[in-house]
Structure formats: structure tokens, C-alpha cells
A and B are shown apart, each in its own frame.
Chain A
């Protein structure tokens, strides 16, 4: 047994040594001691607690460690961070890669993450310097959160007040929601507007009928004149009436002479009007009053038209309002467009009538000119008759 212990001693020492070597190898692998590495430099204004030995990650995979961190040489300078990275990943890190300090978890250790950079850029060389982005200060974020929270608190308080006012039925919205009188008034207004529209429709239809009737009457008059019927027709188209006319005219002339004499003597209303000097003033006043009245009427009609347009627009808005849409829909929704179409149609019809009336007016004017010509001829004959009377008398 003299040296039997040596086996166990050997086992003891070799086992311990193996464990130690494996441990060192594992740690060395983590710290890239036995691997080929390259060095990168980056500079930060603030490393936010990053420490030597912190892992460096590319796309979330550990590719090296922070070798060392150096304070700036002078005040205001940037902190130099030296990174020791796997040689294998050198080709994956481009010259425009960015180093960012991140926190592992919410309160975890600081790590350094590298973004690979653009595909076009060349890969980094050993001891190159890459750009960095300063870490976000948690304090600044919390401060901003605090401000936002305060603002939200103020907004909530204000909304609280508004809601309370609405609940208590105060203010426009409160009254709109809780006061029935507004709804009732609107309902009443809508009903009135409805009846006004119905009346307007009826009046428009009646107006159309009247115009149609007038046009028809005018038509028949003209036809009668043209066919020589009636006084005017006979006067224009029948020659046998000449002698009768001359007699009638002579009689008329006598009557007129008598009338003129009376007028000249200042008898009757017309005589007084001519001889009385105060008469024109009174007439002026009457004419002025009439003119004013007509102006007033024009104004009123304009205002009425404006009022109706506004009302129609309000009603149109109400029809599209969420609050009243349902009401209009229940009553059989109708749009202003339909009314406008009907109105336009009626207007076109009226224009057509107007055109026909104008044509008839033209015809009438033409006939009036013929009448004037006839009158002139009558006057000439009258003069001849007077001359014959003088020669006889």
C-alpha cells in the first residue's frame, strides 16, 4: 500500500486541473482570449454606465466585448469605447455601422449593440472608428411622461367639468341632450316649414295654370281678330265698315269737339285738372307715393326670397343632421333636389309661355302699327271731310 495513495492523489490533482482548465477555457471563450479578434473604436458623449467586459451584439448575437472605456483627454470631449470583436464578423460590420448603448431588460446591465450598416459601404478595418448614437436618457423620458401626465390630468379635469355641465343640462350641448323644448321647437319649425313648402307648391301650380289660361285666352283672341271676328277684327279686316266708320268718326268728332269745349271752359274733372294750378302737385304726390310703394314691394319680395332660401338651406341642413335625419326619414325623406327639379321644370314651362307671349306681343304690336296706319288714314279722311264741309258751308 506504500504508494497506493498516489493513484487517488493523481486522480484528485488531474481532476481539479481539468475542471480548472475547462473553466478557464469557457471564460476565455467568452472574453475572446483564445480567438482571433479585431478592435473597433467608437465615441460617446455619455456611456450611461456601460462597463468594460459588457457584451457587444450584432443582430442580438454576442460578437465581442467592450475592451476598455477611456475618459476624454480634456473637458467636453467624448468618451472613447474600445471594442474587441470576433474576426469572423469583421466583414459583416460596414464602415457606416452605428454603435448604440442599450439596456438589457428594463433595469438590466448596459450592452453595446452594433447595427451592420449599409450594403454598399466597405467593411471596417482593424482599429477603425465607427459612428455612435447616444443612449436615450431614461430621466428625460420620465420627465416627458410627467409633463404628458400633467397635461392629461388637466384635460381630464376639464372634460369632467364639461360632462358635469352636460349632465346637469347646462350649456348648448346639455340643453340639446336633456331639454325637450329644443326638440319640440325644432319639430314645430319643421312642421311649419313643411306646410309652407306645401303651400308654395300649390301656389306654383296655380301660377302655372293661370299663365296657361292667359296664354290660351290670348291665343283665342288673336285667332278671333285674325278671322275678322269682333270689333277689332272687323275694323282691321272688313272694308265695308269704311262708311260706317266715317259716320261714327264724324259723330265722335262732334262729341270730342263738344268735350274739348267743355274742357277748355274748365268744366268737369278734366277741365279742372287742366285749368286748376294745384292739380299737378297733387298728382306728383300720388305718383311719388305709388313709386315708393312699388319700391317697397320690390324690397319685400327680395327679402322674402332671401328668407325662403335661408330657410330652405336650414331645412336641408336639418335633413342631413344626425339628430333630425331619422325624423325626416320617418316622414318619407325628400330632398331639395326633387323640389328644385320640379321648380326648374315649371320655370322652363313658364319661360316657354313667356316666349309665346312675347311672340304674341310682337304680333299685337304689328297689328297696333296697322291700327295706327288706319287711324292716320282716318285722320286724313276726316281732314278731307272737314275741307268738303268748309267748301259746302
Chain B
């Protein structure tokens, strides 16, 4: 228990260090872009397939239920509300935390246990900025963009099912889809994915950056990074949804 609170305290210091590092030059922009590519572009296929599948599954699962109430015409709206408000952001965050969180933690962990980070510090480089700040910023940028892709592909997945079931046109589908959607729904939902990105990036880099106990510790860090980032993404989602509802109704 003592360890848990100690880790929480260290995490707080770590976050503080991140925000302070934002003021520090150089910003390692190129490295940030490279990390964005690593985290974002390379996750696109995974996130895209997940989003498409979720959209199709939603359409298939709810189509028969809505048909029982004569509300099959509401299916695009239902898919849009579910995907844009919740499923898109949370699926993206969980997929990214699984793929990227483990990757970052393992990479930084192995650098720590092979004393590369210590070597950088000795060389008067700024490893926190180069290794941690770039990755957290990359997560902050990539996760919202990935969410947009996931949302779009999930809607397209729903359309594919509706096209085969009802031969509905794409225009009618999107017209119906945005019927119950407004900017107050979409913008907070996309904005919260930045928070998810920060959670994933900060937890992954934190666990990797402070890896101990050699190669065994690297595996531990990767696992803890995935578990904690997924858990905190979901917990944070509860709070953010509540906050969104309070702010935008």
C-alpha cells in the first residue's frame, strides 16, 4: 500500500516535470513528429479495423431490435450517437494503450536497464525531453486524430451493413446519422481523447522511465503500462462524460 501511494506521488512529480519540460528548449519537434508517426500512423490500421468492425457489429446487433419497434430508420442516428459520443473515443484509447503503451514502456524500460538514459544524462543531454516529452506530446496529437478515423470508419461500417440490408444511399445515411448530433456532442468527445492520449503517454513513459530489476522489470513495466493506462482511460472517461454533461448538457 505504501508503494502504491509512493508511486502516485512519483507520478505526480513526473507529470509536473513534463509540464515544466514544455518550457524548456529545444522542443525536439522532429522527434515528436517521428513519435507521432510511430504512435498515430502505425496504429491507424489497427484502430481503423477496430472502428469499422465496431460500426458493423453495432448495426447488425441493433438493426433487428429497432426493426421490432419500427425504428429501423433511426439506426444511422443510433450508430452515430453511440460511436461519436463514446465508442469511438474509448475503443481508440484502449487499442492505442494496448499497442503504444506497451511499446513505449518496453522501449524506455530497456533503455533504462541498459543505462542508455543514464548515459544521456551524463552526456548532458536532456533525456526527459527527448524520450518522455516527445512521446506524451505525440500521444496527445495522435489519439484525437485516430479517434476521428475510428469514428468515421465505424460510421462507414454501419453504412456497409445498412447498404446490404436496406440499400440505403450514403447521403441519406449521413443525413440521418447527424440528425441527433450537434457540435456540443462531437467536440467534447474529441477533446476528451486528448486527455486519454495524455493518460496513455504519461503512464507508459512513467512506467518505462522508472523501470527497475533488469530485463524482468521491462516486461513488468510494459504490462503495468497497458493495465494502468487502460484502467485510467476508462475511469477518466466516467469523470469526463460527467463533466461534459455538466458543461454542455
Binding site for B on A (CB under 8 A): 5-6, 8-9, 11-13, 15-17, 19-20, 23-24, 26-28, 30-31, 33, 53
Contact = CB atoms under 8 A, between A and B. Distances in A.
Contacts of A26: 174, 178
Contacts, number: 60
Given A5-B34, A9-B41, A13-B40, 7 more contacts: A6-B33, A8-B37, A15-B149, A17-B145, A23-B151, A24-B183, A31-B182
A6 B148 CA distance: 20
B186 A11 contact: no
Contacts of A15: 149
Interface in B132-147: 141-142, 144-146
Nearest to A33: B183
B36 interface: yes
A109 B38 CA distance: 45
Contact of B41 (A12, A17, A19): A12
Interface residues on B, range: 20 to 34
Contacts of A16: 144-146, 148-149
Highest count of chain B CB atoms <10 Å: which of A9, A28, A31 = A9
A67 to B, nearest CB: 12
Contacts of B183: 24, 27-28, 31, 33
Nearest to A65: B182
Contacts of A30: 178, 181-182
Contacts of A19: 148-149, 151-152
Q: How would you classify the secondary structure of chain B's contact residues: helix, strand, loop or mixed?
A: helix
B190 interface: yes
A301 B102 CA distance: 128
14 contacts: A5-B37, A6-B37, A8-B37, A9-B37, A12-B36, A12-B142, A16-B145, A23-B186, A24-B186, A26-B174, A26-B178, A27-B178, A31-B182, A53-B182
B68 to A, nearest CB: 14
Nearest to A55: B179
Given A5-B34, A6-B37, A13 B181 contact: no
Contacts of B148: 16, 19-20, 23
Given A5-B34, A8-B41, A16-B146, A27 B181 contact: yes
B181 A12 contact: no
A9 B33 contact: yes
A27 B155 CA distance: 15
Contacts of A33: 183
A55 to B, nearest CB: 8
Interface in B40-60: 40-41, 44
